A and B are shown apart, each in its own frame.
Chain A
Amino acid sequence: MAEVKEETRAAAPEGAAASTHPAIQTVNLSKRFGKTVALAGLSMTVPRGEVFGFLGPNGAGKTTSVKLLLGLLKPTGGEGWLLGRPIGDLETRRRIGYLPELFRYQGWLSAREVLALHCELAPLPRSSWDDEITSALETVGLTDRAADRVGTFSKGMQQRLGLGAALLGEPELVFLDEPTSALDPVGRHDVREIIRGLASRGTAVFLNSHLLSEVEQVCDRVAVVDHGRVIASGSMDELLGGAAVKVRVGGLSAADIGKLSSFGDVDDEGDQLTFTKLKPDRVPDLVSQIVALGGRVYEVAPRHQTLEDRFLQLLEEEEK
């Protein structure tokens, strides 16, 4: 959120320089539905080729953000650009893929026909359709069902089809809104591989999700949104604040524990102290200090803070 570059507010000129513009950029993008604030001033920059995770509980404003960026909703305030062009620009949509949260495709068409429809609307050169469709079907594992009507598909298969449609034409930016909501563990693994594949070829991915482990595994950076506001953002390391160290200890008074605050934030849980933001090379010093204060050390264990821990922590802080 802090990375907003005001100088690129104007529409980017076409040509080679256009590819240097971020994949997504917003400045105070806001949306109200009547009195309800769905999004309160979203400012962010997603560079090209980055996998960006957009996290938040249900109703936080994630899907609203995606729809605003895609021009499906009109913002009530602020500005935004996709690939250097103002949001809502028709031509930019040629270079974008989108899997909606509410994925639904023409049940009376076959999977191949749905993809051909998207090739036609994209629009892609007709000579490339066969290869594009075959590749998309293969990537999402629907080759065997290509000729079957979508109406006979399970939800998971329809979501795979939607993902296939979003991949057509090698887009420069792909929006995936809860892309694994209907998928089994194998499907989720496949989606992670697809996202990694997109990133490796330089496609920016905007991943909307509340599945934290999924985001943690594939995203370069994340933003956490709640009640329409971004409450934290940054790289995964920045957000998780480094490793924490858990020390099981006895024989320390409250005053003694207070003296350990120089080693980082201390969470006193009785016989267990958790030090956050403690660099690993300072752990021996910490143990020496505890022993010097008369404490007895039973266990020292580094603890990796998961995104889930951090997410819940952020939401709790927000509630306060």
Chain B
Amino acid sequence: MPPVLVIARLTVQETSRRRLILALIILTLIVVGFSAWGFQKITTVTNRQGVVIPPEQVALITSQLLIVVTFMYSGVLALSAAVVAGPLISSEVESGLLLSILARPVRRSEIVIGKWLGLAVLIAMYAAGSAFLELAAVDWATGYVPPHPIQLVLYVGMEGLALLSLGLLLSTRLSGITGGVIALVAWLMGWIGGVVGDIGTGLQNDAVAKVGTITHTILPTDLLWRGAIYALEPDAFLATMRAAGAAARANPFFAADPPPILFLAWVAVWFALMLGLSILSFRTREI
């Protein structure tokens, strides 16, 4: 097996043996169970006249609640990615764990890519697995299925990968705690930057709207989150919100459009840049 895959396997093995995967599975099952129970309750809600609300209204409420639940999932994924990626390399440099490995015929780039790959597999599995369970639960409870479930998984997964990539880059130079905290703050700042951009769009103020664009360019996590939101929005809801005009766009849980193709291309470049910088940074680090 090539060294890069050995390192990737080792990374997966470590998270598994440290019971991180088990903890995430148990937590996810608990959340899915609770949310299934909660979503099921929506179908029994009555209006002022004591009549059960119609299926269209159930679908609308479910779609909006599902966006909030997905926000929690994406948050857990982003937090986990940042916390795990932060010490990914730095802790092994500090402890000396990498000394004996780097004395083998292993390139530093293989360590970086292998670790990224290992965690990327876990993030992808978590994004796909948790989305499948949650959407299945919602479907069972309410009969609602969001319009673009595959895109949802892709956007949420990529948001996690973005945090992983940033955390890994920081991990090549900074201590685990410092790198993890910076990645988390960057993620939150990215979200706030996106909200500020929305306000600019709502006010039709180009200068303020640019804050969102710049934020998305530096750290595309919020842009990817917007993609996930868009994947969850039913057409009827979208049409209503679009008809409400620009002011309705100033909402952190609404996306009028999917991320532009050009921006998605930039995201691909961004990932390549992060990995490239991580490799360069680690290659020049003295151990």
Contact = CB atoms under 8 A, between A and B. Distances in A.
Nearest to B110: A121
Contacts of A73: 286-287
Interface stretch (B11-19, B52-60, B157-165): B11-19
A122 B101 CA distance: 9
Of the four ranges (under 10, 10 to 19, 20 to 34, 35 or more), the interface on chain A belongs to 20 to 34
A96 B95 CA distance: 22
B6 interface: yes
Given A73-B286, A121-B106, A105 B100 contact: yes
Contact of B101 (A91, A103, A121): A121
Contacts of A118: 100, 104
A73 B93 CA distance: 13
Contact of B287 (A72, A98, A121, A162): A72
Contacts of A155: none
Contacts of A175: 103
B99 A102 contact: yes
A196 interface: no
A206 B14 CA distance: 33
A122 B105 contact: yes
A120 B6 contact: yes
B148 interface: no
A111 to B, nearest CB: 14
B41 interface: no
Interface string A80-118: 000000000011011010111011111011000000011
Interface in B140-161: none
Given A104-B95, A108-B18, A98 B100 contact: yes
Contacts of B17: 108-109
B96 A121 contact: no
B176 to A, nearest CB: 15
A72 B103 contact: yes
Contacts of A100: 96, 99-100, 103
Given A108-B14, A120-B1, A121-B3, A72 B101 contact: no
6 contacts: A90-B105, A93-B103, A100-B96, A104-B99, A120-B1, A121-B106
Interface of B: 1, 3, 6, 10, 13-14, 17-18, 95-97, 99-107, 286-287
